[in-house]
Structure 1
Amino acid sequence: MVPAFGPAELWDPAVRRDPHGFYDRVRAAGRPVLQIDPAGNRFWVVAGHADVLAALRHPAIGHEIHRHCPAAAHEPVGHHRDEVARIEARQLISLDPPDHTRLRGLVSGGFTARAVARLETWIADLADRLVTDARRAGHLDAVTHLADPVPVNVIAELVGVPEPDRPRFRAWSAAIVSASADAPVATVEFAAYLDELAARRRAEPADDLMSELVARENLGDRLDRDELVALVQLLLIAGQETTVDLIVNGIRLLLTHPDQWRALREDPTLAAAVVEETLRFRGPVEIVPPRFAFEDVEIGGGRIPAFDRVGLSLWGANRDPAVFDQPHRFDIHRTDVRRHIAFGYGIHFCLGAHLARLESRIMFERIAQGLPGLRLAGDTRDLDGFRLHQDRLPLRV
C-alpha cells in the first residue's frame, strides 16, 4: 500500500521534530512525493540514496530555471538592480555551468586536500586553546566556546581578514544566515568591507585568497565586484555555519551515546570516524539548495513535471537501509559510512569538504583528550529534536 501524505506534511511541527520518519515513508512510496512549500510552490521530495544521486547528476535538474522557462525569466543582472539581489544572483550554489564552472575554478585551488593540510598545525593550536579555556571555565556552551570560534577564524585566515575585524565578520555571517530583517543590511555592510579589503590587497598583496582573486584582474580572468562579494560571502556562510553545526551535533551525539563517547576517549584516532558518522547521521544540510526540473524528468519511479521544484534530501539518502546497515543507529564503528553524501555530489560537491573534515576531526580529538569528563548540563529535553541549527548546547567539564 502506497503511504498517504499531507499536502505540506514536511513542514508540519510534528514532522519537524523527527523528519526521518517522513523520509522513510517517501522511500517506501517508491517515487518522488509532491509537497506544497510554505510559499505555495510545488516541491517534489526525493529521499532514496540512488535516486538522490541520480538527480544530482541529471543534466535536466539544476538551479537557473530562468534559462529554461520564459515565465520565470528575470531582468539580467546589472547595476539597476538592488545590490542584495545582485549579490544573491551570483551565489555559486545558485548557478549552473558555464558561470558555475568559471567561478568555482577561481577558488577551488585553495580548498584541495593538500592546500587545507597546511592549516592543520594552526587549527590544532586554536583547538588546544579553546579546550584549555573550557577546562578552566568548568561550565560552557558548545556553540560559543568550542564550535563557533574554529571555522570563522579559519575562513577569515584563508580570505585574509585581519584579526581585529573578525568579530564583525562573524556577526555579518550570523545576520545573513538568519534571513531576518537585518540580513540585507548585513549583506551591504559586508560588501562594503570586502571592497575596502580588496583595495588594500591590490595595493599590498598578501598570501591569502583575496590577494589571489584580485591578482586575477591582471590575468584577464576578472571577477566583477558582485561575483567577488558573493564568493567570499558563500565561503564565510558555508564554511562557518555548516561546520559549527557539524561540530556541535557531533558533541551532542557523542554525549547522548555514552558507549560511543567512551570509545572516542579511549582511542582519539576514531575522531575521523566520528566526523563521517555525524555527517551521515545528522549532516548540516537536510535538503540541497533548491533545484528545478528543466523538463519532465523521470526519477525514482515517478515523473517530476517541467519547471517544478525538486527537493533532494541528503538526510533521507543517508538513512537509506538499502545502503546503510541499521541506518537509524549512530555508530562510529560502521564500515559503510563512506557511502554517505552529506557534502553533496557532482559539480556542486561541497567546496569546503576537506576543510570541514579537518576542523571537525581536530576538535573531536582535542575534546576527547582534554575534556574526558565532558557531559551535558541544563535542560536537555529537546536534544532529540532536528532543528537545522543547534543554537546552544550547555556543557559541564
Structure 2
Amino acid sequence: MRRDPHPFYDRVRASGRPVLQIDPAGNGFWVVVGYADVLTGLRHPAIGHEIHRHCPGLPEPASHHLPDVARIESRQLINLDPPDHTRLRGLVSGGFTSRAVARLEPWIGDLADRLVTDARRRGRIDGITHLADPVPVNVIAELVGIPEPDRPRFRAWSAAIVSASPEGPAATLEFGAYLDELAARRRVAPEDDLISDLVTRADQDDQLDRDELVALVQLLLIAGQETTVDLIVNGIRLLLTHPEQWQALREDPSLAAAVVEETLRFRGPVEIVPPRFTFQDVELAGGLIPAYDRVGLSLWGANRDPAVFDRPHVFDIHRPDVRRHIAFGYGIHFCLGAHLARMESRIMFERIARHLPGLRLAVDPVDLDAFRLHHSGLPLHV
C-alpha cells in the first residue's frame, strides 16, 4: 500500500462511494478519490478544519505534545478556516504572487548553476543532498528572512518537525525561541524580508499574536522546503526511470515546465490534504459521510482519475491534459507557494538537462522505494 497506493485508489474509485479506513492511530476517515468528488470536497462549505467551532460540545482531541507546541500547531494556516485563515493568509500572500517570486529567478538560476557544477566535479552524488535540497531550503529562507549562517540549524529543526519524530516538539519550541530573538532584531533593524513585514504588522495593527507568528513562519519555511524538495527529487527519479522522457528533456530543455506539471500530477508532494471534517451530514462521492467524521481527500487519487486524464498511470511529459491536475489543492487552501515551487523546479530540471546529460541511477531501479526517498537518498552517477 505504501509503495504504491494507486491500486487501492482505483478500487475506491470503482466502488462509487467513500470508503472508511483506519489510520495507524486508530482514527477513522473516509477516503474520497474521484477528481470531481475531491474538487467538491475541497470547496464544500460544510467540510473544514475547525470542527470545535461547529460542535462546541465535542471533546478536545488528545494531544501528546506540550501545551505550547499544541497551541502553535492549532494556529497553523493549514488547520484553520475563515475568518482566521483569511486574515493570516492575507498577511503573507503578497510575497508569493507570480510577480513577487519572479524577481528571485536570477538568484535561483545562479544557485542551480553552482549545484550542477559541483555535481559534475563530484561524479557520484545523492540527488537529494546535492540537487533537490539546497534550492528550496535557501530560497524560502532568503524570502522569509532567515540569515544564511542560521539555515543549517533551521534545516535540522524542519526535518525533525516534518518527520513526526520524538524530537519534533522540542524542535518546535527551539524554533519558537529562535524566532522570538530574530523578531526582536528585526524590530530594531528591519530588512527587506517577510519576517520584518510581519513583525511590523503585528506591532502596528495587532493583526498577529506571537503564536500565530511562529506558526505562520514555521509553516512557510517547512512547506516551502519539504514539498519542493519532494517535487524535484521525484521528478529526477521519474525521468531516470523513464528513459524516453529523460531523452526528450535532454533534447529540448524547454520541456522542463512540462516535467514539473507531469511530476505534480503523477506523484505530487501531497497525497491526502490535511485532515478535514464534516460539520453536518454531507453527501459526497456517492455516499453519505456523517457529521463530524474525518474526510481524506486524496489528491493522488484525483490526479489519476481516468475520467479526466488519458492513460493516468503513465508518466508522460508531453501530456496535453496535465494542467488540469490539482496537486496544489483548490479553493481557499490552494498552495500559497505554488508559483515559487514551479519556478524552482523548472529551473533545476532545465539546468540538469543542459549540464548533466549523463545523469543516471547508481542503483537498480527495483531497489528504489519512492515512499522512502527522503530517508534512503537517491544515489546518482553524473
After TM superposition, is the score higher than 0.5? yes
In structure 1, C-alpha distance between the alignment counterparts of 2:314 and 2:105, rounded to whole Å: 31
- Which of the residues 94, 101, 114 maps onto 2:99? 114
* 1:383 CA displacement: 2.5
Aligned to 1:68: 54
4+ residue runs of structure 1 moved beyond 6 angstroms? none
Q: Give the secondary structure class of the aligned counterpart of 1:133.
A: helix
Please report how far the alpha carbon of residue 382 of structure 1 lies from its aligned counterpart in structure 2 after TM superposition: 3.3
Residue matched to 2:82: 97
Partner in structure 2 of residue 346 of structure 1? 331
How far residue 388 of structure 1 moved from its aligned partner, in angstroms, is: 8.0
CA distance in 2 between counterparts of 1:39 and 1:218 reads: 40
What whole-Å deviation, never above 9, does each CA across 1:62-100 have from its counterpart, x for those lacking one? Answer: 00111122343549xxxxx71111110100000000000
Specify the alignment match of 2:73 in structure 1: 88
- Distance between the aligned counterparts of 1:331 and 1:216, measured in 2? 45
Task: Give the gaps of 5 or more residues in structure 2.
Answer: none
Written as runs of structure 1 = structure 2, the 5 A alignment for 1:226-305 is: 226-305=211-290
Secondary structure (helix, strand or coil) at the match of 1:207 reads coil
What is the one-letter code of the residue matched to 1:265?
A: R
Query: Is 2:2 the partner of 1:16?
Result: yes
Matched residue type, 1:395: L
CA contact (8 A) 2:115 2:130 kept: yes
Q: Which residue of 1 aligns with 2:153?
A: 168
CA positional deviation for 1:378? 2.7
Q: Aligned partners of 1:391 and 1:194: how far apart in 2? A: 31
User: Is the Cα–Cα contact under 8 Å of residues 202 and 209 in structure 2 kept in the other structure?
Assistant: no
1:285-326 per-position Cα deviation (integer Å, ceiling 9, x unaligned): 000000001110000111100111000000000000000000
- Matched residue of 1:307: which SS? coil
Give me the identity figure in percent.
82
Conserved? CA contact 2:183–2:196, under 8 Å: yes
Which residue number corresponds to residue 39 of structure 1? Answer: 25
Amino acid at match of 2:276: R
TM-score, reference length from structure 2: 0.96
Alpha-carbon distance between aligned partners in 2 of 1:20 and 1:387, rounded to the nearest angstrom: 17
The normalised TM-score by structure 1 is 0.93
Task: Quote the residue 1:367 is aligned against.
Answer: 352
**206 and 370 in structure 1: CA distance in 2 versus 1, 3 angstrom threshold:** same
Q: Secondary structure at the match of 1:334?
A: coil
Give the secondary structure class of the aligned counterpart of 1:228: helix
CA distance in 2, matches of 1:22, 1:50: 18
Is residue 224 from structure 1 mapped to residue 217 from structure 2 by the alignment?
no
What aligned pairs does 1:122-201 form with structure 2 within 5 A after superposition? 122-201=107-186
Structure 1: 5+ residue stretches without partners: 1-14, 76-80
Q: Is the 8 A contact 2:140 2:224 kept in 1?
A: yes
> Aligned residue pairs: how many?
378
CA distance in 1, matches of 2:249, 2:107: 23
**SS of 2:159's equivalent?**
helix
Aligned-pair RMSD on alpha carbons? Answer: 1.4
* Structure 1 residue 380 corresponds to structure 2 residue 365: yes
Deviations 1:336-362 (A, max 9, x none): 000000000000000000000000000
Could you tell me how far 1:38 is from its partner in structure 2?
Answer: 1.7
